[in-house]
């Protein structure tokens, strides 16, 4: 897996018959600059772009996020909030998984090389090209467990 730059994104899009639009480039830059552990939904991204004066429609954002997730540039995450979130798809050793509280939606990122190795081995065995391998664990955090316990 590669770290995506504007040049590599442009080359890959051109190879597939698409072009690097200013909107796609802007969205890539937002995700490249996100602090580690921060995830954005399409709506979060729309509000961020709008506050920066970027006039990118929500439908363009949705299409671009789906395209970049299919290409393996972004990871599409189900974080238990009823909508998808996205983050840049980091190569090994920055690859990580998510532990999510189903009550308060707090999210913890964790690393586990065994999960990635199993995913890569399975994909290779079946002739697939691995773009992403992620494990999402839905649980109840200690704080929410304490809140559920009667005194």
Check whether 101 is labelled as a binding-site residue.
Answer: yes
Integer Cα distance of 39 and 41 in angstroms: 7
Does 133 belong to an annotated binding site?
Answer: no
Residue 60 structure tokens: 């363009």
* 144 annotated to a ligand binding site: yes
Please, are residues 22 and 10 in contact by the beta-carbon 8 Å criterion? Answer: no
> Is residue 141 marked as binding?
yes
Q: Which two tokens stand for residue 85?
A: 């979130």
The radius of gyration computed from the CA coordinates of the chain, to the nearest angstrom, equals 17
Cα 140 from chain centroid? 22
Is 95 labelled as part of a ligand binding site?
A: yes
Would you say 102 and 63 are in contact if contact means Cβ atoms under 8 Å apart? no
Q: Binding-site residues, please?
A: 95, 101, 104, 141, 144
Question: Which residues belong to the annotated binding site for Zn(2+)?
Answer: 101, 104, 141, 144
Per the annotation, binding residues for Fe cation are 95
């Amino acid at each position: 897996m590669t770290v995506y730059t504007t040049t590599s994104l442009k080359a890959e899009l051109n190879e597939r018959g698409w072009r690097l639009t200013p909107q796609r480039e802007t969205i890539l830059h937002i995700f490249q600059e996100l602090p580690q552990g921060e995830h954005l939904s399409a709506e979060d991204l729309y509000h961020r772009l709008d506050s920066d004066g970027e006039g990118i429609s929500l439908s363009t954002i949705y299409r671009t996020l789906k395209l970049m997730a299919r290409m393996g540039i972004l990871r599409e995450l189900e974080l238990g909030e009823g909508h998808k979130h996205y983050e840049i798809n980091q190569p090994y050793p920055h690859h990580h998984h998510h532990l999510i509280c189903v009550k308060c939606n707090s999210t913890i990122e964790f690393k586990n090389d065994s999960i990635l190795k199993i995913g890569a081995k399975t994909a290779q065995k079946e002739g697939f090209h691995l773009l992403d391998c992620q494990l999402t664990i839905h649980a109840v955090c200690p704080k929410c467990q304490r809140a559920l316990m009667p005194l």
